[in-house]
Amino acid sequence: MRLMRDEVTVRVPATSANLGPGFDAFGLAHAIHDVVTVRATAGATDVQVTGEGVGEVPTGEDHLVVRALRAGLDYAGAPQAGFSLHCHNAIPHGRGLGSSASAVVAGLLVARGLINEPEALDNDSLLNLATEFEGHPDNAAPALFGGVTVAWMEGPQARAAQIPLHPDVQPTVLIPTDRLPTSRARAVLPATVAHADAAFNAGRAGLLVLALSTRPDLLLPATEDRLHQAQRADAMMATSALVDRLRQAGAPAVISGAGPTVLVLAPLTAAQQAVVGQAWQVLSPSIDFDGGQVTVPEPSRG
Ligand code: HSE
């Protein structure tokens, strides 16, 4: 195995995980992208960042894209090098929009783009490696494949499949300025849940597949959850209150991933917009059906 080129650009979407009842399983890709260009060099690794995360993320070997890139090369048995990265980030950090999963998928796709046998980093391998970084596959799957996905573990192997999507399912995201680390949002979850709540969520998750694919009229009941959203309310009170107000106004609102962004799986009506308030950045990104994309420079013409 060898590096067959010295420059690759990748584009990876933001994601919303969970979608209500599908904790650690469902996810959706938004047309909000981080774009990373990587050059292999003989020098030390350096990372330039523009957009989200400037001045906050590491600019050397600790950068998440670099760590994932190196893990991908190791997995494929390819040699390491120095790397010069330019990251143009549009995905907000710490808001529940999958920025870390997108960084990991970006690094792994760069590794695939650099090597002479890209099949050594096929989709199954990439999903598995990304899941090892993340601890769960629900953001990595839509970041890699696009669309709306359900992901699951078969023993140590992560798997994912896409859910066919009804055209009326059009996301709205409401992004607060506050951040919440995923580690904190996970730390507040109980170790066990009541059987009745597990049964409730199993039914709603099945209903959600139906609602997303053919029955968008069922999105409101299909996005009910009893496993994580109420349990996290104290860690994101404004988010929880907004989800409640929107749902009372008939909108299928959920917490995006581990929060604190709110995701609504439909455009907001004027009455629903009226309950939002000023503190939220409201976006209506289309769904990204492509997933992470790799581009390589054209060979120069002699
Ligand atoms: N399923 C995850 C959670 C998504 O809610 O904690 C965030 O990584």
Cα(101)–Cα(122) distance, rounded to whole angstroms?
A: 17
Residue 201, C-beta contacts closer than 8 angstroms, at least 6 positions apart: 21, 23, 225, 226, 227
Residue nearest ligand 1's atom 4 by CA: 257
* Residue nearest atom 5 of ligand 1, based on CA coordinates: 258
Query: Residue 4 in contact with residue 116, Cβ under 8 Å?
Result: yes
Would you tell me how many other CB atoms lie within 10 Å of the CB of residue 59?
Answer: 16
- Sorted by sequence, the CB contacts under 8 Å of residue 210 that are 6+ apart come out as 218, 222
CA of 214 to the centre of ligand 1 (A): 26
Tell me what pLDDT residue 302 has: 55
Q: Where in the chain is the domain with CATH 3.30.230.10?
A: 7-163+288-295
pLDDT (0 to 100) of residue 298 = 80
Domain 7-163+288-295: which topology? Ribosomal Protein S5; domain 2 (3.30.230)
| Residues of the chain with confidence (pLDDT) below 50 | none
194 C-beta neighbours (distance < 10 Å), count:
11
Q: Which fold has domain 172-283?
A: Alpha-Beta Plaits (3.30.70)
Q: Is the CB of 288 under 6 A from ligand 1?
A: no
- Predicted confidence (pLDDT) per residue in 34-72, tens digit: 999 999 999 999 999 999 999 999 999 999 999 999 999
- Per-residue confidence (pLDDT) for residue 296, from 0 to 100: 84
User: Quick one: pLDDT at residue 146?
Assistant: 98
225 C-beta closer than 6 A to ligand 1:
no
Could you tell me the CA-to-CA distances from 157 to 73, 76, 117, 137, 259 in Å, in that order?
Answer: 19, 17, 22, 10, 26
Kindly report, as residue ranges, where domains of CATH 3.30.70.890 are found in the chain.
172-283
Per-residue model confidence (pLDDT) at position 248:
98
Measured in whole angstroms, the distance separating CA 246 from the mean position of its chain's CA atoms is: 23
The reply to whether ligand 1 has any atom less than 6 angstroms from the CB of 255 is no
